[in-house]
Amino acid sequence: MARSIIVFVSGIDGSGKSTVVEKLADRLRRRGLPVIVRWFRFPYLLTIPFLIIARITGRTRLFEAGGKRFSVHFFEHSPPVYKLLYAFDHALYYLAKYGVSLILPVVIVSDRGPLDNLVDLLADTGDYEASGLLVRGFLKMQGRGLTILAKASLSELIARRPEARVDPKYKVRLALYDKVLGTNSRLIKPIIIDTGRDPRLNEDILESIANVIARNYGHVGWGKNLGNPYLRALAASKAFILVNWLLQGSRIADSSENFFRVVLDASAIILGLLAGSITAAIGFFLVAHTTSYILASNSPIALSYLNKSKSPREAMRLLESYVRENKPGAYIQRIIVFGSISRKAAKKYSDIDVRVVRSRGAANAIRALLWTMRLRLFAWRNRLPLDVFITTPDKLADIISEEEKTKIKDIYRGEATR
């Protein structure tokens, strides 16, 4: 099942965070995950009055470097209320920026995080002890996700950021990252990426991180074909699984399969009503509908995501062997596979899209349905991740894209269609 994941890329300005974010997000998108990039620069809301007073009284000073002006706060010995207002602002911003987005199972890659805002607060207020309830609160917030810490030597940072030479608190913030993480190591265990070393080493680290995130995210499903990350996440959510269970592929299934399911569900409901109970009717329907769902290949596909099914290559070999040994009659024209397996792009958790193309007529529909049910039982017993549906030549033309049609592989072809 897909799950929400957040990755905070932290580090002082000039450490290469944005480059790490861009490269990691690109790798995750190539794996089909619904990725959203966020920039977590701190917003000042309730603290604005305090900042205005600080500017007037000179506790906020302006500096210039590299043609850019920037401000530095000197809030040492400021009242504790500033820290509370800052924490409140931060919590509101975090909720708006991340809490709402994570309702769906998306992967957020964040440029900066609570750790960076905490370091800024400690440097601004002169609280170099880096301890206390407030510090733990910020770090626990960041600890809900994975943390990547971008680092570089001071000479490299100065070369990248001219303000590092001028900012009187730049070195203080740099030291605070190490101190905060050192005294609170049990709350955050960051992955360190030294952006100043051989880029090839960092590429390997990012590739490994992307693989781990992809494995932990879960199943994307057909939603990987959607461009919008929120729609892609919706297709991978629990709500979509419920819809998938309810509809059971009725849009792509043949009318004979849909009719069979309707008859099975209706029979279960009638049987429950004859038993004299609406509760029994609902229970019988749930059992019948779920049994149909399992037999329609969904069980072996689910097993593939639990690491308990055959590999796509082994499943394909067993499928071809079964069809050779159990050749259908004229009631089936073709049996084809398409998708990642036919494109030779199948991965560990890929399923095999199988379509049984039946001949016209009610009798042929029934015989094709019975043969297909035996194939599904074979897949279920042998843990083959097959996604099997009956179709007709006309419907096949509608449900498979033009690009996929060039990659179709026939594993059975009847005499009439040779």
Instruction: Tell whether the model's pLDDT for residue 332 goes beyond 90.
Output: yes
Greater model confidence, 297 or 224:
224
| Pairing outcome for strands 35-39 and 107-111 | parallel
The pLDDT, as a whole number, for residue 302 is: 59
The pLDDT, as a whole number, for residue 384 is: 83
**Phi/psi of residue 297, each to 5°?**
80, 0
Which of 58-62, 189-193, 245-249, 414-418 shows the lowest mean pLDDT across its residues? 414-418
Question: 380-402 burial string, b = 16+ CB within 10 Å, else e?
Answer: bebbbbbbbbbbbeebbeeebee
Confidence grade of residue 393 (pLDDT, cut at 50, 70, 90): confident
Write the CB contacts of 188 (distance below 8 Å, at least 6 apart in sequence): 115, 139, 142, 143, 147, 181
CA–CA distance, 255 with 259 (Å, rounded to integer): 6
Q: How much of the chain exceeds pLDDT 90, in percent?
A: 45
Confidence grade of residue 85 (pLDDT, cut at 50, 70, 90): very high
Instruction: Tell whether the model's pLDDT for residue 28 goes beyond 60.
Output: yes
Q: Do 82 and 179 touch, CB atoms closer than 8 A? A: no
Greater model confidence, 323 or 238:
323
For residue 239, the 8-state DSSP code is H
The pLDDT, as a whole number, for residue 123 is: 95
Mean pLDDT of 61-75: 91
Mean pLDDT of 103-116: 93
**Phi/psi of residue 46, each to 5°?**
-70, -20
Which of 47-56, 63-72, 293-302, 335-344 shows the lowest mean pLDDT across its residues? 293-302
Q: At what angle do helices 362-382 and 312-325 cross, to 10 degrees?
A: 130
The pLDDT, as a whole number, for residue 226 is: 80
The pLDDT, as a whole number, for residue 196 is: 85
The pLDDT, as a whole number, for residue 385 is: 82
Closest by CA to 412, choosing from 362, 361, 360, 337, is: 337
Kindly list the structural domains of the chain, giving each domain's residue range(s) and its CATH number in brackets, ordered by start.
5-235 (3.40.50.300), 248-417 (no CATH)
The pLDDT, as a whole number, for residue 228 is: 87
Q: Do 35 and 107 touch, CB atoms closer than 8 A? A: yes
The pLDDT, as a whole number, for residue 417 is: 54
Give me the DSSP letters along 325-383. Answer: HT---TTEEEEEEESTTTTT---TT--EEEEEEEPSSHHHHHHHHHHHHHHHHHHHHHT
Q: How many CB atoms lie within 10 A of CB 408?
A: 16
Q: What is the CA radius of gyration of the chain?
A: 29
Mean pLDDT in the chain? 86
Tens-place pLDDT, residues 191-235: 999 998 877 788 999 999 999 999 888 877 667 778 888 888 888
The pLDDT, as a whole number, for residue 212 is: 92
Instruction: Tell whether the model's pLDDT for residue 298 goes beyond 70.
Output: no
Tens-place pLDDT, residues 128-164: 888 889 999 999 999 999 999 999 999 999 999 989 9
Q: Which two tokens stand for residue 40?
A: 């977590």
Greater model confidence, 261 or 244:
261
The pLDDT, as a whole number, for residue 101 is: 79
Give residue 352's identity as a one-letter amino acid code: I
Confidence grade of residue 12 (pLDDT, cut at 50, 70, 90): very high
Write the CB contacts of 356 (distance below 8 Å, at least 6 apart in sequence): 332, 334, 335, 368, 371, 372, 375, 388, 389, 390, 391
Which of 57-66, 384-393, 409-418 shows the lowest mean pLDDT across its residues? 409-418
**Phi/psi of residue 354, each to 5°?**
-120, 130
Tens-place pLDDT, residues 255-289: 888 888 899 899 999 999 998 889 999 999 999 88
Q: How much of the chain exceeds pLDDT 70, in percent?
A: 92
* pTM recorded for the entire structure: 0.66
Give residue 337's identity as a one-letter amino acid code: V
